[in-house]
Amino acid sequence: MEKISTQEAICYAISLPIATFISGIDSLEILRQNLAIARGFQPMQANQMQALRDRYAQYAADERFELFR
């Protein structure tokens, strides 16, 4: 399975029409990484967001990551 990068995931999420984004931070390294992403953030274009959804659609289709169901 192709792994989505942290930057792609965060940029996708904060490109959506949301009011708040909360990221788990369990180390100073992760905090610094998230701050760097936020500082350089440019909203994703609609076509970029669709390309990301298309790339990972096969993994979402079988609900294997939705363990709460």
Q: Which amino acid is at 15?
A: S
66 domain residue, yes or no = no
1 domain residue, yes or no = no
- Block residue for tokens 């096969």: 58
Residues 6+ apart with CB under 8 A from 69: 63
What average pLDDT does the structure give for the chain? 91
Q: Domain count for the chain, please give it.
A: 1
Q: What pTM did the predictor assign?
A: 0.81
Q: What is the pLDDT of residues 15-36, one digit of tens each?
A: 999 999 999 899 999 999 999 9
SS3 annotation, 14-40:
HHCCCCCCCCCCCCHHHHHHHHHHHHC
69 domain residue, yes or no = no
Residue 48 belongs to what domain range? 6-61
12 domain residue, yes or no = yes
Residue pair 12/44 in contact by the 8 Å Cβ criterion: yes
Q: How far apart are the C-alpha atoms of 40 and 63, rounded to whole Å? A: 32
